Amino acid sequence: MKTNHMNQYAVHAILILLTAACVFPFLLLITSSLTQEQAIVRDGYSLLPKAWSIEAYEYLWNKSTSLVKAYGITVTITIVGTTVGLLISALLAYPLSRGDMPLRGTLSFIVFFTLLFNGGLVPTYLVFTEVFDMKNTLLALIIPGLLTNGFFILLIRSFFSTSIPVPIIESAYIDGATEFKIFYQIVIPLSLPILATIGLMLTIGYWNDWFNGLIYVTEPELYSIQNLLNRMLSNIQFLQQTNIGGNNSTAAAGLPMNSVRMAMAVAGILPILCVYPFFQKYFVKGLTIGAVKG
């Protein structure tokens, strides 16, 4: 029994350390966003800054039109993307999970194939911009995310085929239910954990996506919040690493200060933090069921 206790302590200690490693940077982020700019440069980042200030948030507030717009874009693409993505994934995964589906192996292989190979950046870009003419549209921020989720489809398929007994489906069929009715009245309600999990992953994916914005969007009107943040940070990085003549500091003068960058990051994470607890219980369950048995 005693060794067991020791084990417990060791495990707890490790977990506490891991938790601290996750929480500490986050706390630091919040306090630095509330630190006076001069204090950051002078004394460095600290959990208990010598001079507090909300000037960073005031700055953001003054810029609120672009920030609100960016929030609007992010929320829109997240909601639309998650809903549509979930629908497409489930609708594709369900037939793949059914043993009596013709060409099941081939279709599964095609889905699996997209996990290993993709068209590469330039061809993808050309297809989206020239064939579909999506450059600088909201669609460019949504569609690419919908097409690259082979992993999610396989996850949902495994859940369907392992957790939903075939006899239930057969009995519904005998009772006269159509395929579609079976899907949305029996399969979907039984699959909430996996759907919530995939939903959360899609949400996080869309919320954090900046890459599509980076390559498909040049209009500031369409910047999402992560895109805005990423651009700001890379601009700063660029200026630090490149010497573009005597103009460096003029250019730098237009960039936000340390504390503002932190405040922007806080603004970027906050909403997702609020959503997370509601998904969490499904998240753990869905992931373990979908992954381990699959």
Q: What would the x/- binding string for another protein be over residues 132 to 171, using CB under 8 A?
A: ---x------------------------------------
Interface pick for another protein out of 1, 249, 277, 292 (rule CB under 8 A)? 249
- Whether the Cβ atoms of residue 71 and residue 272 lie closer than 8 Å to each other: no
Contact 229, 70 (CB under 8 A): no
Our CB check for another protein shows the closer of 70 and 194 to be 70
The Cα 171–Cα 139 span in angstroms is 41
Smallest separation (angstroms) from another protein to the CB of 84: 25
Binder among 103, 121, 188, 291 for another protein (CB under 8 A): 121
**Selected range binding another protein among 93-101, 117-125, 142-150, 267-275, rule: CB under 8 A:** 117-125
Q: Choose which of 18, 51, 192, 255 interacts with another protein (CB under 8 A).
A: 255
Q: Identify which of residues 39 and 164 has a Cβ nearer to another protein in the complex.
A: 39
List 19, 46, 178, 247, residue binding another protein (CB under 8 A): 247
| Strand partners for 35 | 52
Give the three-class secondary structure for 133.
Answer: coil
Q: Alpha-carbon distance 224 to 213, whole Å? A: 7
Q: Is 239 in the site for another protein (CB under 8 A)?
A: yes
Encoded tokens for 9: 């302590």
Residue placing its CB nearer to another protein in the complex, 1 or 253: 253
Q: Does 106 bind another protein (CB under 8 A)?
A: no
H or E element in which residue 138 lies:
none
Binding mask 32-61 for another protein (x = CB under 8 A): ------x--xx-------------------
DSSP H helical segments within the chain, as ranges?
A: 2-33, 37-43, 55-62, 64-97, 104-116, 121-126, 139-146, 150-163, 166-174, 179-182, 188-190, 192-208, 211-216, 225-241, 248-253, 258-292
Coil, strand, or helix at residue 52?
Answer: strand
Near another protein by CB under 8 A: residue from 6, 21, 116, 122: 122
Asked if residues 199 and 279 have their Cβ atoms less than 8 Å apart, the reply is yes
Which residues in this chain contact another protein in the complex, by CB under 8 A? 38, 41-42, 62, 65-66, 121-123, 125-126, 129-130, 135, 214-215, 218, 220, 230-231, 233-235, 237-255, 257
